[in-house]
Structure 1
Amino acid sequence: MSDPGPLVGEPLALDLVNTRNADGDHLATPQALRGWLDLEAARFPDVRDLAVSDAGLAAVREVREHTARALECVRRGEQPPQEALDALNRAQRAAPAISELAWDGAAATATRRRAGSAADRLAAWLAEAAAELLADPAVTTVRACEADDCVTLFLPAHPRRRWCAAARCGNRVRVARHYQRQKSVGEK
């Protein structure tokens, strides 16, 4: 099956972890990271104009790996590796967040912004999203897609949800089951 690209729409930290799949890595190059950030742009500030460099890619991939390691444990109710938690905390501290105040002509506005290099800001936003997910009690309901060749994680909105996306993996599983039933009927 050709890879249709990363799924988006889960909590941001899950979307980040899901950029790794059974066939490879959706964040293999700075350009690939830029494409993913464009898909996620509405979810956190300052990414539309953010220059993506090799350093930014490395920082994001490091946050992704630590998020994945911690998530694998926390979703099972187990203690995550301390080095994963420490790395996510370091990433957040590298680009502190402030609520920047401005006047829009009629009222005061507050926009959450981060200080630091582009790579640090991006890693901090993603590490903060990881912290929010890891601390959310719903993290224990995160599931892996049941399709054999899929490693995508999702937070089910419905308790019977089994696949990352019905149109992607759900249809493939149903078609494969149908094919197997037809094949076994034909062999009788």
Structure 2
Amino acid sequence: MELLIGEPLALDLVNTRTRDFDALDTPEGFGIWLDRQAGRLTPSEGPFTADDLGAVRDLRAHVEAAVGAVRRGEGPSLETVEAINVAMRAAPAYAHLDVVGDALTKGARRDGDRRARLLAQLAEAAADLLTDPAAGRIRACEGPGCRMIFLPAHPRRRWCSPELCGNRVRVARHYRRHKPE
């Protein structure tokens, strides 16, 4: 399973579907993706159901459509925007004060069931990305057959990952140059 992790969270969500694998097909695959997002999402208690995965797939489709529109220099459809807004409203974040020993800490909490909380976090990540001026720089990987997208830190970045697609392209180029005639 080759999952691109480490892009903005909304792009990592879109990238849960690769050329050969969809992390949202099974609770186990989704659990692996969630584990790799440690520190970026509030941990969830227990496994997700098929209905939960369906809700995440629906949100992913809307995020993917919105990102595609932004990449084309267009505005996303009102349906897509509303779907993202509905997910954010289902479990809005609120400030919360905790006492840890003698110290006070401020954090964020959410009401709602775990599906609503997860969808709200993912939708907020999408809203953050879509309203960031850098969103216009989101690119598709140039690797053959790759469907990953990324936000390049360097303008010359061409592949989702130098270790994955970058290496495949370099190996294919080397083979073409040294192929016996």
RMSD of aligned C-alpha atoms? Answer: 1.3
1:169 is aligned to 165
1:31 is aligned to 28
1:21 is aligned to 18
**Aligned residues between the structures:** 181
Kept in 2: contact 1:59–1:120 (CA 8 A):
no
What is the one-letter code of the residue matched to 2:14? V
Q: Percent identity?
A: 53
Task: Give CA deviations for 1:40-66 in whole Å, capped at 9, x if unaligned.
Answer: 021122x25354222321221111110
Distance of 1:17 and 1:66 partners within structure 2: 9
The alpha-carbon deviation at position 172 of structure 1 amounts to 0.6
The alpha-carbon deviation at position 16 of structure 1 amounts to 0.3
What are the within-5 Å matches in structure 2 for residues 53-72 of structure 1?
Answer: 53-72=49-68
What are the within-5 Å matches in structure 2 for residues 114-129 of structure 1?
Answer: 114-129=110-125
Kept in 1: contact 2:149–2:160 (CA 8 A):
yes
Distance of 2:144 and 2:2 partners within structure 1: 17
Task: Give CA deviations for 1:129-180 in whole Å, capped at 9, x if unaligned.
Answer: 0000000000010111100111110111111111111011101100001111
The alpha-carbon deviation at position 36 of structure 1 amounts to 0.8
Structure 1: 5+ residue stretches without partners? none
What is the one-letter code of the residue matched to 1:62? D
* Structure 2 residue 141 is the aligned partner of structure 1 residue 142: no
TM-score normalised according to structure 2 size? 0.95
Kept in 2: contact 1:56–1:123 (CA 8 A):
no
1:112 is aligned to 108
Task: Give CA deviations for 1:1-27 in whole Å, capped at 9, x if unaligned.
Answer: xxx321100000000000112223121
